[in-house]
Amino acid sequence: MTSGTHDKRSAAPEAGFDAVFAPFHDGLREGRLRVQWCATCRRHQWPARSVCTGCHGTGIEWADVDEPIGSVFSWTVVHHAKGTPFAADAPYAVALVELEREQVRMFAHVPEPQTLSIGARATIDFHAPTASGHPSWRVLHDPASG
């Protein structure tokens, strides 16, 4: 993996960026979350790959996630991120969120680690970007629980 500089406006590294992820980052810039979809076996996959992990087919397309809501599977808190695009965001959490409809897990940047719990529902928030320019995720609070 090649490292490169980061353009805060692009939400993607400039150099060493794998072209297979380009549609994902294009979607983020447009305010849309995208994951891959296999037209052959009709399942979503993440992270992006050139072939389907289920059927090994090459009929891979990109699909918008219409309702980007998932549940927190796991997380860790980053207290020091020196030398990374996220340094100004510390402390923050990196959560593994399983999207409900797509049944894929993806990493999520959560600026408020104290809101996390296993199983909590979370959504991407394009209106509250991180200091690095990436969209953040936030926990959805159940009105019944206060």
- Residue range 21-71, pLDDT digits in tens: 999 989 998 999 999 999 999 999 999 999 999 999 999 999 999 999 999
Say yes or no to pLDDT of 11 above 60. no
Q: Residues 146, 140, 120, 85: is their CA dihedral positive or negative? A: negative
Per the model's pLDDT, the better-predicted residue between 61 and 12 turns out to be: 61
Query: Quick one: pLDDT band at residue 129, thresholds 50, 70, 90?
Result: confident
CA–CA separation, 28 and 20 (whole Å): 14
- Residue range 108-118, pLDDT digits in tens: 999 999 999 99
Per the model's pLDDT, the better-predicted residue between 12 and 53 turns out to be: 53
